[in-house]
Structure formats: structure tokens, C-alpha cells
Amino acid sequence: MIRRAALALALVAAPAQAGGLYVEAGALLDVESGELREGQCVLTDGERIARVEPCGATPDGAERVDWSTFTVLPGLIDLHTHLADAGQSADLAAPIKTSPAATALIGAHNARVTLAAGFTTVRDVGTYRGLTDVALRNAIEAGHVPGPRMFVAGGYLTHPGGGGELNGVVPNEDLPADMRLGVLSGEVQAAEKATRLLDGGVDFLKLMATGAVLAIGTEPGQPELTEAEMRAAIAVAAQRGTYATAHAHGAAGIKAAIRTGARSIEHASLIDEEGLLMAREAGVWLVMDVYNGDYIDQIGTAEGWPEEYLRKNRETTQEQRNRFRRAVELGVPLAFGSDAGVFPHGLNARQFSYMVANGMTPLQAVRSATVEAAKVLGKDGELGTLRAGAFADLIAVRGNPLDNVRVLESVEGVIKGGVEIP
């Protein structure tokens, strides 16, 4: 058993075969055009796609992958996950009880489960144990553990006692230093803390523009970081060739984040009409987690999560879905982000049916987790598409997701970077 497990891990981490893979699709979904094409094969070269063509004889040196009974589409992208985290529970103290090493090991498990669910790329948008996500990303890139391609924030840029703090456990000043890497007051500290996180290896910054649902003592509708603080952090990010996303539920905080140059808005639960139009005009993506409100209400109630959490969730869940529907109507840029970690990792695809139920077509929902998400990451044409030169990230499902988007909840095969995942 040990030998087989080691072999499986080696296969995950190994480079692609010298001749690549020749993946025969029953039907191939071109997410860019929306066309479903039969009789197509994808040839990989290393971690990239060499060509997409009508199937023929297997090219010399290539290994044929028989997905002829499946629909094949690009690997999915989730822009809002928390892999390197202890997970949500009724125990407020769980993050501090979980050491950085234990958090990283939990993250390794979460990464494997997420990859198996068809999400070959994720954006990890914060962890209480600062920079643990950097370590996890690096371990995946080195081939030490299987997992999706990760883009990480490292921690939360937040006010003392704000939505990015672990409130209500011990006096915040007594929290470990790694849990307060991004705590700031004022423009100078905003720039300093942003620099520290970027020096620590993060890919982008996470700004807490408003309070949070799952944090004690903060209200989702209330602004937290000031415009000046957000501008200071974003200026540092821009100097380093990257960007910031903003956690923002309330309308005022959302509009402040848009004005300061945030690339995307997380949650956007209480966005108003003006904010929607501002986002559309500025080309700012909304990443709206329209599934997990039901999970919080059902499981959180059953498990005895803090009543403050449940109350704030009730106040935002349907409002968020109403505003999501309006965003679809207005043509506001929308990208897929589930908030996995609030609910168990691997269930990310449950959100697709909620997006469709709230105004999207199945193709729009799929595009939000492929081509649109890739644009947010600055990887347009490299991720979320099946074309020559893109990363060879492919998944196989039974049935047509354009007829029933829920088929994405049961992924039958995964290829990441030209390597078939056992």
C-alpha cells in the first residue's frame, strides 16, 4: 500500500511524458466560443497545449488518453478559496489552536481534494496563519504535494479588530505575530504591511474594505480600511507588478475599493446600483459567493456557530443573490469564487447551479470559472482555455454542462499541466 501511494504521488508530481498526451474527447467545450465540438483531440507538449485538432492516429511518442465518453473542458478556476486554513467551525479558537505546521498539512489535504474536484487553479485569498499559503503554493510547485496552481494573498490587510482579525478569542495584541502580519492603522503602515507581505512571497494583496460575516465584532455593511489606506497598499502592489482584491460587502466600502483601483471585489453582498455601474465602467470583477450562504445557515445552525455569524449571514445571503442577478442583467464582469473553506473543499462546483438559478446561463457560469477568472489573474489565453500555448489543464465530465451545469460537481478525470492525475 505504501509503495502504491508513493507511486501515485510521484505520478502527480512528475513531468509530462516526452511525447505528451493525446486526449481524445467525446465532446470538447470551447468556452471562448461556446461551441461544443465532437471528434476533437488535444495534444500536450510538456505542461502546455501543442494543438487542438480532429482526432487521428496517436502522434509518435504520445500517450493516448481515452476520454471519448466524456465532455472535456478547461480546468476550472476558483478565485476565492482558503486552502491553508483550519476551516470554519463553531470553535472560534480553532485557528490559534492549529499551529502553522498543522495548518500547512491541512492545506495539503485541501489542495489534493480541490484538484480532484476539477479546480486546477485557485486564488487563495487569505489565511489567519500568515504566509502558510505561500509555503503550500511553493510545495505544490516543487512537486512535493499534489494540488492546484495557487495564487496567494498571504494574509489580510485589516484594521485592528477588523474583519481580517481573529476577534473574540484572546486580546488581539496577544495573538501570535504570524496572525497579525497585515494589521495596520494609517497610510504609512498600509504601505509597510503591503511591502512585508510582498517580500514574503505573496502574489497579490487582500484588502479588508468592510467588516465580515464570519468575524466577531464587525459588520459587513460598515467600511473599515480607508480610501487612503487602500490607495497606499495598491500603489505598493502596482510598483511590484501586481494588484489588490478587496473584501467588501457594504455599498460604501465597495465603491471606495473601486475608486482606489482594486481589481476585483469579493462578496459584494450589498452593492447598490451605483456600485454596479461603477464596476462595469471600471472593468472591476465581482467575485460573489452565492452558494455558501445556504451552507452557513444549515450547517452553522446545526453545529452551533456563533449567533452573530448566523444573523449576519441571514442579512446578506438573499441580498447578495438579488444583486448578483442584477449584475448579470447589467453586464458587470463576474468571475467564479466560492469561499471554499467556509464549506468543505472539493464542493466548490456546487456554486454553478446557484449562479444559473440567479440569472446566468450555464455557459456564462462556466466562463466565469475559466476565461473570466483567467483575466482576473492576468493569465488570459494561458489558463481557462483549450488553445495552443495555454497550460494543459483539462477536465472530463459525464454529460453536457450547457444542458445541466451540475455535471461539473462530479469530475471524472483531471489533467493539470500535461500530467494526468491518478
**Residue 38, Cβ density class (10 Å: 0-12 exposed, 13-18 middle, ≥19 buried):** exposed
Phi then psi dihedrals of residue 378, to 5 deg:
75, 25
Q: What is the pTM of this model?
A: 0.95
pLDDT at 262 over 50: yes
Grid cell for residue 88: 470554519
| 6 band by pLDDT with thresholds 50, 70 and 90 | very low
pLDDT digits (tens, 9 = 90+) for 342-361: 999 999 999 999 999 999 99
Give the chain's mean pLDDT. 95
Percentage of the chain beyond pLDDT 70 is 96
Q: Which band of pLDDT confidence, cut at 50, 70 and 90, is reported for residue 19?
A: confident
CA distance 78 to 150: 10
Query: What pLDDT is recorded for position 2?
Result: 32
Rounded-to-integer distance, Cα 294 and Cα 300, Å: 9
Report the CATH fold assignment for 2-74+384-420: Urease, subunit C; domain 1 (2.30.40)
Phi, psi of 418 (to 5 degrees): 80, 5
Q: What confidence tens digit (pLDDT) does each residue in 173-195 have?
A: 999 999 999 999 999 999 999 99
pLDDT value at residue 263: 98
Domain definitions of the chain by residue range:
2-74+384-420, 76-376
Closest alpha carbon to 52 in 78, 20, 76, 77 = 20
Burial letters 348-380, b for 16+ CB under 10 A, else e: bbbbbbbbbebbbebbbbbbbbbbbbbbbbebe
For residue 387, the one-letter residue type is: R
User: Is the predicted pLDDT of residue 9 greater than 80, yes or no?
Assistant: no
> Residue 287 in contact with residue 245, Cβ under 8 Å?
yes
Q: What is the average pLDDT across 140-152?
A: 97
Residue 116 has pLDDT above 60, yes or no: yes
Percent of the chain with pLDDT over 90: 95
Determine the average pLDDT of the residues in 13-35.
82
Instruction: Please state the separation of Cα 347 from the chain's center in Å.
Output: 13
Instruction: Note the pLDDT of residue 209.
Output: 98
Residue with cell 511591502: 195
Q: Which residues pair with 205 in a beta bridge?
A: 244
Q: Using the predicted structure, report yes or no on whether residue 4 has a pLDDT greater than 80.
A: no
Q: Is the pLDDT of residue 25 over 70?
A: yes
Residue 17: per-residue pLDDT: 43
Architecture of domain 76-376: Alpha-Beta Barrel (3.20)
Among 260, 252, 249, 251, which residue's Cα sits nearest to residue 282? 260
Say whether pLDDT at 106 is over 50.
Answer: yes
- The answer to whether 362 and 356 are in contact (CB under 8 A) is yes
